[in-house]
């Protein structure tokens, strides 16, 4: 069914269509972004990344907030 689906001639046709649609300046950018996305996905699957920081711990307290940090300032 898909015996010759990955021949070099087919990939040249796909590359030619990509050049026509996106232009010669955008094709390398698309390839680089795709490679970065795949690399990040693989690293996330491995679990080698450090634990993400929770948004409440990452943000400094609002200076206009009350003593608990989440209550509005009394006027």
Residue 18: how many other CB atoms lie within 10 Å? 15
Q: Which helix (H) or strand (E) holds 9?
A: helix 8-22
pLDDT-based confidence at 71, cuts 50/70/90? low
Q: What is the pLDDT of residue 6?
A: 75
pLDDT tens-digit profile of 13-63? 988 998 999 898 898 898 899 999 999 999 988 875 565 556 665 556 666
pLDDT-based confidence at 8, cuts 50/70/90? confident
Instruction: State pTM to two decimals.
Output: 0.44
Strand partners, 65: 72
């Amino acid at each position: 069914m898909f015996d010759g689906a990955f021949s070099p001639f087919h990939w040249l046709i796909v590359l030619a269509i990509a050049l026509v649609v996106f232009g010669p300046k955008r094709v390398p950018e698309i390839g680089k972004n795709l490679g970065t996305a795949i690399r990040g996905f693989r690293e996330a699957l491995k679990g080698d990344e450090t634990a993400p920081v929770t948004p409440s711990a990452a943000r400094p307290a609002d200076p206009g907030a009350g003593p608990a940090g989440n209550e509005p300032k009394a006027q």
